[in-house]
Structure 1
Amino acid sequence: MLAAMPPTSPTPVNRDEAPPRAAVRKSVRERGDACPGALRLHAADDGRLARLRLPAGLLTPRQAEALADAAERLGDGHLDLTSRGNVQLRGLGQSCGAELAERLHEAGLLPSETHERIRNIVASPLAGLDQLPSADVQLWARELDGLLCASARAAALSGRFLFALDDGRGDVATLGADVTLLARRDGSVVVRTGANRSGLRVTPENAPRAALLAAETFLTLAEASGSGAWRVRELPAEHGRGLEAAVRAGLADAGIATEYVAEASELAPGPGSEPGPEPEASKPDPEGEPPLPGPVLSPDGTVALSVHARLGRLSVAQWRLLATAANGPLRVTPWRGVIVPGVAPAAAGAVLDRLRTAGLITAPGSPWHGVGACTGRPGCAKALADVRSDAAAAVSRGSGGLPVYWSGCARRCGHPQGRWVDVVATGEGRYDISVQGDARSITTTTGPELELKPELELELADAVAAARTTPLTR
């Protein structure tokens, strides 16, 4: 059924009382982590799926071409961008695993076969590419990746464990990572675990090692709890409460000095902000916005182009256009976009026009901006609807407002963080629509139930558009 949402009178719901957004998690996991990787391929209805981890989303032009070639020769000719800045190849043949691995090895995309699934590292995509002062999160990402691959202990991490390296603008710090490195105005870095607003201050040179030690400490507590937890938020309460203290003790044993920070709110200034006194510790952290589509002036005088993929999916031809336009490594973002660096200012407008003509999102006014979807039918056996087709049919009814994400089932694979319009299939042509909240609140509204038929497609589109402009309630 379609729960059509009126644009007024939203009803706040306590998150603790609200129905779960996915299947109820068991307190103890009874199976191992089956998260796909570059070597462990997932059998989907449209062929095998490979998920390639890209620490900080970085891809050299040679590596980008290697992925395009693999998608074209071994897969379905497309590349999917994930909510962690990684890339997926779909439609792979039953016996192509060895050839794919060889191609990735040759391109330098498989530095460790035993650790390839745990290299989940997101970083502020525009760090060093815009006019904001920023920490060198790309350096942190390279160092952390090397430390992870060298740690036998880290190989036990789940393929879902996430590191976020925030240059101080507060963008990737909001992504619900398990370990977050957050740059501060005073040049230090705060290490956070899970949803903690508090953290431990360390020096920048110690930040990557501190992140690794925090992850290894989580593993120790997860094993002690017997819960089989894959993420920090899955730790039993008594173990979760002790994680920060255990991390601090582990850092001290490793010779890394720390200072407890009650709430790490002293981030680098955001766009348009003026220098001023340090904020009070009780003030909330600023939450930076994802990079908007369009040109970004870089400190070296070149232009970086922020481009998004429609529903997170790129054809090989579109991918190659991005790679050939870049003068430096591409940066895949956790918001299913790509940053193309080093474009000459005189050529930036023409390049954006070519990318827009090719079907990419190059401006925030595009009706496709902020619209996402999982694979849905026919690619996923668990999906209840062809959500991509339904999302495409509804996208022309408006733009702007909250992000909207279409899910083929209640698992909501790949949904965004923060607040978003949640469109979940409950059957072929039937959807529930709600506004999902952040960690502190959840807002839902419902209206008259309608079954989606061809003559009611506009009502579906209007319901989604109305939900995107639903006022925030607490």
Structure 2
Amino acid sequence: MTNRSHPDRCPGVLRPWIAGDGAIVRLRLVGGVLQTSALRDLVGIAADYADGTILLTKRTNLQLRGIDHSDGCVPAVLVDAIAESGLLPSPSHELVRNIMVSPLTGRVAGRADLRETARTLDHLLCAEPDFAALAGRFLFVLDDGRGDVSSRSLDLGLMAVDAETAQLRAGSHHWGPLVPLDEAPGALLSYAAAFLASRGDGETALWHVDELPEGGAELLGIHHARDLRTQVSALPPPYGIIAQDDGRSAEHLAVPDGLLTPELAAEILGRAGSEVIVTPWRSIVIPDLESAP
């Protein structure tokens, strides 16, 4: 069991990290989904208040840095601009909206479409005040059965075994019961509530399920064997055009060093539809293209 000596300090908009070149804020995207309208706003925000670039993180989130600050706070006008863009939907829960999903789910292969599962999980997470106490590094990982994100260290998650069923996970090593996908968000959050009750209090409270005795096995109650259908893995998709299941296409774009420059952002915005997807590999997918560019 890990012994903590301070609360986690993972940054957000309302709790920035102060670096040598200014404040850093992190914007959390559920499943990496970023509305193009929000991206357009964020390009302007980065130019006006940060260093002009947008950093993609390995947790499919975004960061701005080089921001002026006072007494550990960024300017209120910056917070207002981010909120107006739609990238701060729950100020009370902004630090805990860490939900990683197979980036191509519902569009290319995979056993199940997890987009609605992720949205429901986010909605229920933000609706319960107690969950705001989770650490900013607490991570939910939802794999649609292809195995592209299942190897990530996680706190809670699932892996689809067919179009309507998933096996739940607690910590990086324990597997839970098989449940219908529409019941999975509630089940995962019941484990999150049990974690909060078990992690301790104050500055020594644990951050991760893996830090509990036996890596969080107690959250599951009883032992569940790992379903053989979860024994799969997949590499990141290749860069370039990818055929979607609906006949349209997606394009997987490299973002060198995960740093989205104004020039690359403008190229993406010129071609994207209503949304783009930030991947765990610090790249971007432009989905739902009607024809190859």
Shorter-chain TM-score tier: over 0.9
User: 1: CA distance between counterparts of 2:68 and 2:209?
Assistant: 35
Q: Which residue identity does 1:108 align to in structure 2?
A: G
User: 1: CA distance between counterparts of 2:94 and 2:224?
Assistant: 33
1:37 corresponding residue in structure 2: 12
Q: Which residue identity does 1:223 align to in structure 2?
A: G
Question: In 2, are the aligned partners of 1:135 and 1:167 still within 8 Å (CA)?
Answer: yes
Q: Tell me the CA shift for residue 346 of structure 1.
A: 4.0
1:140 corresponding residue in structure 2: 117
1:217 aligns with 2:194: yes
SS in structure 1 of the partner of residue 76 of structure 2: helix
1:243 corresponding residue in structure 2: 219
1:311 corresponding residue in structure 2: 257
1:350 corresponding residue in structure 2: none
User: 2: CA distance between counterparts of 1:77 and 1:200?
Assistant: 46
Question: In 2, are the aligned partners of 1:136 and 1:167 still within 8 Å (CA)?
Answer: yes
Q: Tell me the CA shift for residue 302 of structure 1.
A: 1.8
1:99 aligns with 2:77: yes
Equivalent runs, 1:257-336 vs 2, <5 Å: 261-267=224-230, 285-336=231-282
CA RMSD of aligned residues (A): 2.0
How big is each residue's C-alpha offset from its partner over 1:213-253, in whole Å with a ceiling of 9 and x where there is no partner? 111111111128x952101111234x7332221xx7xxxxx
User: 1: CA distance between counterparts of 2:169 and 2:198?
Assistant: 16
Distance change >3 Å, CA 242–CA 139, structure 1 → 2: same
Q: Tell me the CA shift for residue 153 of structure 1.
A: 1.3
SS in structure 1 of the partner of residue 150 of structure 2: helix
Question: In 1, are the aligned partners of 2:113 and 2:163 still within 8 Å (CA)?
Answer: no
Distance change >3 Å, CA 141–CA 65, structure 1 → 2: same
How big is each residue's C-alpha offset from its partner over 1:73-120, in whole Å with a ceiling of 9 and x where there is no partner? 111111111010000001111254312211121122112111001000
User: 2: CA distance between counterparts of 1:303 and 1:40?
Assistant: 39
Identity of aligned residues (%): 38
Distance change >3 Å, CA 311–CA 297, structure 1 → 2: same
State TM-score, norm by structure 2.
0.93
Question: In 1, are the aligned partners of 2:249 and 2:291 still within 8 Å (CA)?
Answer: yes
State TM-score, norm by structure 1.
0.58
Q: Tell me the CA shift for residue 287 of structure 1.
A: 1.3
Q: Which residue identity does 1:124 align to in structure 2?
A: S
Q: Tell me the CA shift for residue 148 of structure 1.
A: 0.9
Distance change >3 Å, CA 323–CA 75, structure 1 → 2: same
SS in structure 1 of the partner of residue 141 of structure 2: strand
Structure 1, unaligned runs of 5 or more = 1-25, 249-259, 268-284, 348-474
User: 1: CA distance between counterparts of 2:119 and 2:208?
Assistant: 22
Distance change >3 Å, CA 186–CA 53, structure 1 → 2: closer
Q: Tell me the CA shift for residue 344 of structure 1.
A: 3.2
Q: Which residue identity does 2:225 align to in structure 1?
A: A
2:160 paired residue among 163, 177, 183: 183
The aligned length equals 290
Structure 2, unaligned runs of 5 or more = none
2:40 corresponding residue in structure 1: 65
1:88 corresponding residue in structure 2: 63
1:48 aligns with 2:11: no
Question: In 2, are the aligned partners of 1:227 and 1:236 still within 8 Å (CA)?
Answer: no
1:430 corresponding residue in structure 2: none
Q: Which residue identity does 1:126 align to in structure 2?
A: L
1:129 aligns with 2:75: no
Consecutive aligned runs of 4 or more in structure 1 exceeding 3 Å deviation:
none
User: 2: CA distance between counterparts of 1:153 and 1:210?
Assistant: 16
Larger Rg: 1
Distance change >3 Å, CA 216–CA 289, structure 1 → 2: same
Equivalent runs, 1:459-470 vs 2, <5 Å: none
2:94 corresponding residue in structure 1: 116
Question: In 2, are the aligned partners of 1:328 and 1:341 still within 8 Å (CA)?
Answer: no
